[in-house]
Amino acid sequence: MSDKALINQLFQTIDDYTRNDQKKEGTPVVDFKTPDELQQLMDFTVKDEGISHIKFNELMQQYLQYSVRTGNKQFMNQLYGGFNLPAFIGEVLTILANTSMYTYEVAPVATMIEREMISLMNSYTGYSQGDGVFLTGGSNANLVAMFSARNRKIPASRFDGIDRSKHLTAFVSEHAHYSFENAANMLGIGAHNVIKIPVDGHGHMIPDELDRAINFSLQKGETPFFVGATCATTVLGAFDPLDELAEICSKHDIWLHADGAFGGSLVLSPETKHLFRGIEKTDSFGWNPHKLMNIPLVASVLLVKQKGTLHFNLTDINTDYIFHNNNDVEDLGKKSIQCGRRVDAVKLWFAWKYYGKKGYAKRMENLLNMARYAEEKVKDHSRLELLAPRQSLTVCFRYKPGYKTDLNDFNFRLREQLRKSGKSIVNVAWLDDTLTIRLIMANAETQKDDVDRFFENLLVCAGELENTLSRQIIAESV
């Protein structure tokens, strides 16, 4: 097989995958295999000699066959999913050009595209003098936001390191993402100095509790410098009250960051504008288009309210073997903590050009409609119990069998049986001491038939599991 034939086979494989595997009804989300089974089916070792084109093609087929099909509309497991054709095309062109985002010299078109994407995204936040950068995920957006807050509070730390006598403290809700603690660890602030603020019954950070915690920190001689709010928490999909938090942060001169890794894309819809009330008062906003906008991983952005913030983070940008000060346009590498940086803006640009602003607003509204529909499906079924009111795109519920049993154990087994069946994949999480099935609406092309199919698959698995366990109970009692 020649190189040209191998390329043709690649195109055929892509066509088969997108036309059949992703969209054909009944296609499994995953052809589940255990690690031992995969080891038997595929040769993962690298030998001294290379392989033939025929064998290479076999490996392509095997990789796709046994991987999770995240574009399948029964993939409701993580906070991302879906297959976005224009974004996929943008990704392919990006890889083909294979450039890096540090200078206009090597990435002229991509530089202009990233500038446009940052400007467009800032138009939704109200950052009229804002800036931003693409980076490698929501966790890194939280890291760079905390980094920026540290540098604003103690500018000398960029050169002299952390003055331990300052005792910097950060504040996030009990339901905030774990990456804030990792960020504090990496920045020398220490994970124990990230203070968890209580949430109300809906999972929102309580403003009065935040104010109380900041005042207590000040009384102890510490230096509060950062508050991380969340726009759609990982489990409940809750939005912290940005307007009230901004007032507190302004009073204490503290950086307010909004982590919109999950829910940030809902800012595109007028229907959910109220969830972001006060967003223009924040200092930074993390937004992951690779989630609800269905852009291929990774497409993550940190927006900052004040232009120049990201440049100030860096201590040496006079590297003459990269930056030549050509004055054509700003080199984006001068505001990124990375040197080599992937071109992630292009796939987002192609998708946004394809769907338009109105098209993306409709996609977000469809997600909300499907989440509402799923919530009603739970409410209407006698064996399903809604464990928390739906707030955005997450539905938390569990199955209740017809006999007394450990519901946490039953629902964990149910999720595992459903996952390994390949029919649907959904996740589980803990709400205090209660295990919840966490159903995520993230694929903007999901329709009511897909939601119906999910619940049919889940209820069939639940019935089978219930029968199996009840037979075991009877056998054990004899």
Residues near 71 by Cβ (< 8 Å), separated by ≥ 6?
18, 22, 81, 82, 83, 443
283 CA to centre of own chain: 20
Q: Is residue 74 part of a domain?
A: no
What is the rounded CA–CA span in Å between residue 334 and residue 249?
29
Question: Nearest-5° angle of CA 108, CA 109, CA 114?
Answer: 100
Task: Provide mean pLDDT across the span 124-141.
Answer: 97
Task: Provide mean pLDDT across the span 87-115.
Answer: 96
Shared domain check, 382 and 329: no
Of the residues 67, 86, 117, the one at which a domain ends: 67
Three-state DSSP class for 448?
helix
Shared domain check, 292 and 193: yes
DSSP designation for 333: G
Q: Is residue 332 part of a domain?
A: yes
pLDDT at 157: 93
392 CA to centre of own chain: 15
Shared domain check, 298 and 325: yes
Q: Is residue 182 part of a domain?
A: yes
Residue pLDDT, tens place only, 177-234 = 999 999 999 999 999 999 999 999 999 999 999 999 999 999 999 999 999 999 999 9
Residue pLDDT, tens place only, 454-464 = 999 999 999 99
What is the rounded CA–CA span in Å between residue 188 and residue 184?
6
25 CA to centre of own chain: 27
Of the residues 319, 343, 367, the one at which a domain ends: 343
Residue pLDDT, tens place only, 1-48 = 678 888 899 999 999 898 865 556 778 999 999 999 999 999 999 999
Residue pLDDT, tens place only, 360-394 = 999 999 999 999 999 999 999 999 999 999 999 99
Which run of H or of E encompasses 396? strand 394-399
Which run of H or of E encompasses 132? strand 131-135
Q: Is residue 218 part of a domain?
A: yes
Q: Is residue 351 part of a domain?
A: no
What is the rounded CA–CA span in Å between residue 146 and residue 455?
41
Shared domain check, 241 and 157: yes
**Residue with the larger pLDDT of the pair 101 and 4:** 101
DSSP designation for 52: P
Residues near 335 by Cβ (< 8 Å), separated by ≥ 6?
131, 133, 310, 311, 313, 314
- pLDDT of 72 above 80: yes
DSSP secondary structure letters along 163-207: -GGG-EEEEEETTS-THHHHHHHHTTS-GGGEEEEPB-TTS-B-H
Shared domain check, 331 and 396: no
Shared domain check, 440 and 336: no
Q: For the stretch 197-234, what's the b/e string if a residue is b when 16 or more beta carbons lie within 10 angstroms of its beta carbon? A: bebeeebbbbbebbbebbeebeeeebbbbbbbbbbbbb
pLDDT at 296: 97
Q: Is residue 94 part of a domain?
A: no
Shared domain check, 333 and 362: no
Shared domain check, 159 and 264: yes
Q: Is residue 92 part of a domain?
A: no
Inter-CA distances, 312 with 85, 144, 170, 315, Å: 37, 12, 21, 7
Total structural domains in the chain?
3
- pTM of this prediction exceeds 0.85: yes
Total residues found in the chain within this entry: 478
- pLDDT of 478 above 60: no
- Host domain of residue 280: 99-343
% of the chain surpassing 70 pLDDT: 96
Task: Provide mean pLDDT across the span 109-125.
Answer: 98
Q: Is residue 365 part of a domain?
A: yes
Residue 409 sits in a domain of what CATH number? 3.90.1150.10
Residue 314 sits in a domain of what CATH number? 3.40.640.10
Shared domain check, 299 and 237: yes
- pLDDT of 475 above 90: no
Shared domain check, 264 and 323: yes
Shared domain check, 472 and 384: yes
**pLDDT level of residue 256 (50, 70, 90 thresholds):** very high
Shared domain check, 248 and 377: no
Of the residues 51, 67, 83, the one at which a domain ends: 67
H runs (alpha helix) in 220-256:
242-252
